[in-house]
Each structure stands twice: as structure tokens, then as C-alpha cells.
Structure 1
Amino acid sequence: MLNVYKVTSENISGLVAQSGEEVLKQPLLKQMRAVKREILTLISTWVGKTQDANVVLENFVPPLFDAVLFDYQRNCSAAREPKVLSLLSIIVSQLQSSINPEVIRILDAVFTCTLEMINRDMEEYPEHRLNFFSLLQALNHECFDVLISLPPEHFRLIVDAVVWAFKHTMRNVAEIGGIIGLDILKDMLTQFGVHRDKERAQTFYKHFFMEILVHVLTVVTDSNQIKILAEISITEQLNPPQSNIDYIYMHISETFAQAFDNLTPDQIRVTVKGFFSFNIDSVKMKNHLRDFLVQIKERVGEDTSDLFIEEREQEIQNVQNAKKEVPGMLNPHEIADDDSMK
């Protein structure tokens, strides 16, 4: 099967080299790519179901990587299969830390070339984006020690990619990619918090905390973004001789003053104080954030009704649930068929 994949890939690459990327639109090339995708899907299913990780690692990963990683890396962007990234995510999740020796090889083959594909704009290659973020999530969770041992310039790219994920604006990528990005960041902060190498964790905070904080605050419309900051435990002074609380308070205040010149100093002061006061109470934090967003939107004349959609949906669901308890209250079209409930 891998031989079929390899031969098919070589034929596609040869035709692209001979006639350019436009050849990928021809029916024959589309069918050849469909064969590759089906092979990747079959392999992904098998790896996801297997109970013997050693068999996968020792007998399957070497020839698979030889055939798939090199093909992905050398191909033009339009010919790279996004299912390669999802397959790698499944392999990493299944093999966990056993895949550590292969992480550098995985990153060398797919990280930079994929990042170059998706950082040009926010719209091209949506499937590659989501699968790329999922791969980062798997690597961060299962191979954390390898990632934090990367050279600083390479680890910087990992952090940048995570930020890129949760700041996405493309509609069909933003919701899922944003959740994945925040999950990666939260997991990264959690793992640093319990990591045996406390010095390495504090170095991370010193270099990245303020940058991450600013990025999180720029997408503060989602209450999940603030929760991740509770995972940070900093002992290293970020800006001596100031205390960390004073420094962070000042930095957030200055950032908000620059970003929201329509707010008064008192409004900014109360908002920032709330971030520190409600940091362990997600409900109060959510309400505090919403009050802040209402102030911003009202100042510029924007509609604020979208900030209350979640509560309205919950209220509607509560009413529907109450109706179900009373026979005859639901309309026929509101009653689920028995088959759909099984």
C-alpha cells in the first residue's frame, strides 16, 4: 500500500514539474490524489484502532515516514495532502511519548513548509490549517519535553503558531482553530506549571508571558481566553524592581488606554482591577468582561445584543425542557422521532 502511495506521489510530482500546478486540476490527477487520500484514511483508521503501539512504532512508522513525510515536504503547496497532518496527529496521540525520537523529523518535514502555506493570509488551505493546529496540539500534549528542548528560535515558532491558531478570523477555521489554539496554550501553561525544571518554566514566562497576555486580551470577547491565565505561576521578576502584579497591571492599563481611546481612565482602571479580582471566578469574570465589551460597543454605537446570545439560548432550552415535562405542550414538529432518539 505504501508502495502504491509512493509511486502515485512520484507520478504526480513528475507531472507537476513538467506542466505546472495547473495539471492538478485534470481528472486523472484528481483521481490519483483521491487514491493517496484513501490510503491515508485507511492508515489513519488502522493506527487509531491498533492496540499494539510497539508494532506501529517499530514496523510501520519507519517506512510510512519514508514514503509520506518526504513526499509532503518536497511537493508544491497545492499538492500537499492535509490528511498527512491528521495522520501524524493520530500517530502522536496513539504512541504518546514513544514517538519522541521522531518528533524532530516530523517537525522538519511538515512544520515550516505548512506554516509558510498558511501564514500568507487567513483564507487559503483551511483544511491544512485545522489539521496543522491539531498536530501541534498532539505534539504539545504528548511530546512536551521535546518541544521545550528545541532551540529558542524554533520554540518561538511553536508559540507563534499557537497564537496564530486562537487569533484566527476565517469563519470556518476561527471557531475550531481558536478552541484548539486556546487548548494548546492552556495545556502548555499547565505543563510548565508542574514541570520538574522550574528554571525552564520561569524562563518561558519571562520571555513569553507579556506577549501572550496581550494576544489573549485582543481576543477577550471569548471568556475562555482569560481562564488560561490562571494556569500561570510566575516567580521570576518580569521587570525588576517592580513586582509582577504592579508591572502586569500597568502594562494592561497602558495597552487598553492605547487600544480603547474612547474609554475614560476610570473605566480602564475598574476593568483591569476586575481581571485581578475575578481571576478564580469564571462566572464573575465572564460578566465583568461582558460589561467591559458593552462599554466599548456602546461608545462607538454598536449593537450589544450578541453579547447575550448564550444566555438567551440557555433560556430557550430551559423552556423547551419544561415543556417536555408536560404532556401535550410540544408541537408535533418539536417532538423527536423515536428512531432519532436511539
Structure 2
Amino acid sequence: MAARDPCSAGGGTSVLPLDDDGEVTSARSAVDLDRPLARPLSAADLRLHHGLGLASAKEALDLRRLKFCSLLRAIGTDCFQALIQLSSPQLKLVIDSINWAFRRTERNIVETGLSLLLDIFKKFQASGFQNQFYKTYFFTIEQEIFAVLTDTFHKPGFKLHVLVLQHLFCVVDGLTEPLWDASSVAYQYTDSAMFVRDYTIKLLGTSFPNMTVTQVTKFVDGLLSSKHDLPSFKNHIRGFLVQSKEFSAQDNKDLYAEEAAAQREWERQRMLAIPALIAPSELQDEMVDS
């Protein structure tokens, strides 16, 4: 099921209205999950956004979405004690909103949502509530990340998708309670890592019906064996995606965005070492940046 847009008309419950100046309200004063999160774009909204140079209702809604995600991140990083005191339905709303964010195709919204998710992971690991958190949300988040990662329309954020998956595969080793419900699982696993392995094989087997069980199993085992080595882990995922039928005919440059940026920076530094090859305006820009 597609994640519901909490910033569209009829978007459900939210904590994040804009104030009269079009800015997101304070994170500390906005944690009110009993009020509607978003209202339809009104004529006043459109006049405001036109004044900001936004030419359409879509641009206005995109701005609201970005503000929404920015406030979620402020709450997650600056008001974590408020998060862990939320009721289960309220915390689920926050996690669902994060999932909605990284299911978007707008790069800034995707990256804000994924960065917030990584921040929350770190906070829960240090909170003493990590067993409860991951038992409730581990498989939902894994399923959502793989759904986006294996969708050719959602290439922005590849580096952050990889970091989320790496964290999930690593964190299971430190959990002291099983992730599975023993009453509903016939096989008694010895640890959560083995359960995650089998679950992921079944999940990806459904997502890639053109691949054999052996191919999927080899990929998942490769994830588990490389999870402590980020470059190998990332290359393993990228290789799997590029070789899959869904990605083989696509322009996959976004999967190599991090390496391309590093190459551009290396070229820039190399050119700066030879001032005669640099235009005066570029040298001036470098001086300003430094």
C-alpha cells in the first residue's frame, strides 16, 4: 500500500502546521498528535506561496512537504524524550510519516526522511528501548526500504538507503530479545540474525520473481557477510540491482552518485594545484568558500 501523503488535503493526523508566515512552527510546541496535521491549500496559502516566487499549487505543496519533513527531523533530534513518551499509535504515526517521506521521488524530501530515520536509530540504540522499537518496526522499515530501493523510479538517496539497511543488519547482533513472535513461527530460531536472513530471502524472492531462490539467497548471504564493511556492502547491493532485470535497461547513474561526486572533487583539487589552468573567477570562488 502506498504511503499516505500527510501534507495533502485529507491527509489525516499531523503535528506540523505552517504558521501565518509560511514557516514551520517550533518543534517543541508542535507535538500535538490530536490535531489535524495538514489542511488543504487555501487561497491564502496560494497567495503566500506566489509571494515566495512559487508558481503553482504543486510547488506550494512540495514546499509544505519539505517543511513537514524538516520539522519531523527537528522533533526526532531535539525532542527525542518527547518521542519515547508517545503512545504506540502516535509513535507509529511518526514512523509512517518518515516512511512516507522516503517513498517520495523529490531528492530533498527523500534525504531528509532517511537522515531522520538514521538519527532515530541512533537515539533508540542509546535509550534502553531498542528491543521494543526494533521488534515493532524492524520488518516494516526493512520492507519499505527494499520496496523503494528496488523501484526504478526511486533512485535518489541510494547512499542513505544503504546506510539504513546496513544498520538494520548490524543492529540485530546487539538485540537481547528475539524479533520474531515465537507463538506464530513454527521453526525455533537460535538468534534474530537467522530469522532476518530467512525473512529477507522470502521478501526479495517475492520482489524479484525472475530470480531463482539460489540467486536471492546468495545476495542475502552476501549482505550479512559484508555488513561491517560499508564499501563492500554498498557495492554488493548496487551490483545486485544493476544485474536485475528491472534495472538492467535503466540509466543507473544515481546509483553511482557518491563516487561521481568524489571524482569531481578530486578533479577540482587537481586543477587547483595548477593555478594557470583555473579561470580567475573560479579561483575567487575558491577563496570565498575557504
User: What is the TM-score with the length of structure 2 in the denominator?
Assistant: 0.70
Within 1, Cα distance between the matches of 2:68 and 2:247?
A: 39
Within 2, Cα distance between the matches of 1:103 and 1:281?
A: 39
Cα separation, partners in 2 of 1:261 and 1:323, compared to 1, 3 Å: same
Would you say 1:286 and 2:227 are equivalent positions? no
* Offset of residue 107 of structure 1: 3.9
Aligned partner (choices 102, 112, 119) of residue 187 of structure 1: 119
Within 2, Cα distance between the matches of 1:116 and 1:156?
A: 23
Would you say 1:201 and 2:146 are equivalent positions? no
Question: Aligned letter for 2:22?
Answer: K
Gaps in structure 1 of 5+ consecutive residues: 1-71, 74-78, 93-101
Tell me which residue corresponds to 2:44.
none
1:186-265 → structure 2 map (5 Å cutoff): 186-195=118-127, 198=128, 200-220=129-149, 222-228=158-164, 229-230=166-167, 232=171, 233-239=174-180, 240=182, 241-242=188-189, 243-265=191-213
Aligned length: 238
Question: Aligned letter for 2:101?
Answer: A
Would you say 1:336 and 2:272 are equivalent positions? no
Within 2, Cα distance between the matches of 1:296 and 1:115?
A: 41
Tell me which residue corresponds to 2:84.
148
Tell me which residue corresponds to 1:177.
109
* Offset of residue 264 of structure 1: 2.4
Within 2, Cα distance between the matches of 1:285 and 1:192?
A: 23
Within 1, Cα distance between the matches of 2:120 and 2:148?
A: 19
Cα separation, partners in 2 of 1:204 and 1:318, compared to 1, 3 Å: closer
Tell me which residue corresponds to 1:83.
22
Conserved in 2, the CA contact under 8 Å of 1:253 and 1:272?
yes
* Offset of residue 325 of structure 1: 2.0
Question: Aligned letter for 2:38?
Answer: T
Conserved in 2, the CA contact under 8 Å of 1:249 and 1:272?
yes
Deviation per CA, 1:88-138: give whole Å up to 9, x if none: 14xx4xxxxxxxxx554x4445xx332888xxxx98711111111111111
Deviation per CA, 1:33-83: give whole Å up to 9, x if none: xxxxxxxxxxxxxxxxxxxxxxxxxxxxxxxxxxxxxxx97xxxxx97573
Cα separation, partners in 2 of 1:301 and 1:178, compared to 1, 3 Å: closer
Root mean square deviation, CA, Å: 3.0
Tell me which residue corresponds to 2:65.
129
Cα separation, partners in 2 of 1:329 and 1:80, compared to 1, 3 Å: closer
Compare 307-316 and 146-155 and name the one that shifted more: 307-316
Within 1, Cα distance between the matches of 2:21 and 2:113?
A: 18
Conserved in 2, the CA contact under 8 Å of 1:323 and 1:329?
yes
Cα separation, partners in 2 of 1:135 and 1:306, compared to 1, 3 Å: closer
Deviation per CA, 1:254-306: give whole Å up to 9, x if none: 11111111222222112111221121211111111110111115775334455
Tell me which residue corresponds to 1:295.
243
Within 1, Cα distance between the matches of 2:265 and 2:23?
A: 40
Q: Which has the higher helix share?
A: 1
Tell which structure's C-alpha radius of gyration is larger.
1
Cα separation, partners in 2 of 1:338 and 1:305, compared to 1, 3 Å: closer
* Offset of residue 201 of structure 1: 3.0
Question: Aligned letter for 1:88?
Answer: S
Conserved in 2, the CA contact under 8 Å of 1:227 and 1:279?
no
1:1-40 → structure 2 map (5 Å cutoff): none
Cα separation, partners in 2 of 1:143 and 1:324, compared to 1, 3 Å: closer
Aligned partner (choices 93, 98, 104) of residue 162 of structure 1: 98
Cα separation, partners in 2 of 1:151 and 1:313, compared to 1, 3 Å: closer
Within 2, Cα distance between the matches of 1:204 and 1:317?
A: 39
Cα separation, partners in 2 of 1:313 and 1:268, compared to 1, 3 Å: same
User: What is the TM-score with the length of structure 1 in the denominator?
Assistant: 0.61
Conserved in 2, the CA contact under 8 Å of 1:137 and 1:180?
yes
